[in-house]
Amino acid sequence: MLYDNIKKEIGKRLGDPFLDKYRALVGNVFVESLGNMLKEDDYGINEIESVDSETVTNPLLTKKTYSYSQVGLNNTKKFQLESDVFIVQDVLFGDDYSNISPEFDFVPTLKEISKDTQRRMAIEDALKPSGYEIFYIINNYSITFYSSAEIPNGKINIDMYYFKAPSNDEWSTLNDGSDGLNLETSVGLSPQLIQRAINRSVMHLSGVEQGEKE
């Protein structure tokens, strides 16, 4: 569905098909509704295509690969998060370090730890990673990995999948191209998800109108 058509659809349901009244509001309300749905986990597993899809050019669900070399006992690595991270969806091994088909003679495992564990790790050996464990924690705009000293030297690739915040600015810019922006094929949103976001936007905007009347 084209971004233009989505805006018009919202306008139609509000009795304003040419967006005379809501032109300035409708895009922002739509992305806000969609963002709230992501926050509330109001989406199905197959409703948002990831960056791994070959057809999606501007995915909402994207990823960043953190790649570092495990050398000796130097086993803490900290990275700044990307500035467009909205919701972290999953952190998992990329490439060969997969729990499904290990390319090496060991199977590493990745676990998220709490801030409390991170602090206590300093003096409690039992909380430190051992064997082939790698721990990570996301806080303060950064992601920190703690790997066990037993992990063989070599490159480790860890993928972080995350949602970018839906952005009216970004989509409007893309929409200005010759063909317009199709949220289904280019951003990877399912038609159902778009419809639900439209419904929310309509409810939101009609609420605003009612508020104005009162």
Whats the size of the chain, residue-wise? Answer: 214
In Å, how far are 14, 42, 54, 74, 213 from 206, measured between CA atoms?
7, 21, 38, 57, 11
Taking the complex as a whole, the smallest distance from the CB of residue 149 to another protein amounts, in Å, to 6
Taking the complex as a whole, the smallest distance from the CB of residue 95 to another protein amounts, in Å, to 14
| Residues in contact with 104: Cβ distance below 8 Å, sequence separation at least 6, in sequence order | 96, 97, 152, 154
In the complex with another protein, the residue whose CB is nearer, 2 or 107, is 107
Taking the complex as a whole, the smallest distance from the CB of residue 174 to another protein amounts, in Å, to 42
Chain residues 65-84 in contact with another protein, contact rule CB under 8 A: 73
User: Would the CA dihedral through 30, 33, 38, 42 be positive or negative?
Assistant: negative
Q: What mask of x and - would describe binding to another protein in positions 88 to 127, judged by CB under 8 A?
A: --------------x-xxxx---x-------------xxx
Chain residues 126-145 in contact with another protein, contact rule CB under 8 A: 126-133, 135
Candidate ranges 45-53, 60-68, 84-92, 146-154; the one touching another protein (CB under 8 A)? 146-154
Which residue type occupies 123?
I
CA 160 to chain centroid, in Å, comes to 9
Q: How many whole angstroms separate alpha carbon 193 and alpha carbon 204?
A: 16
Chain residues binding another protein by CB under 8 A are 73, 102, 104-107, 111, 125-133, 135, 149-150, 152-155
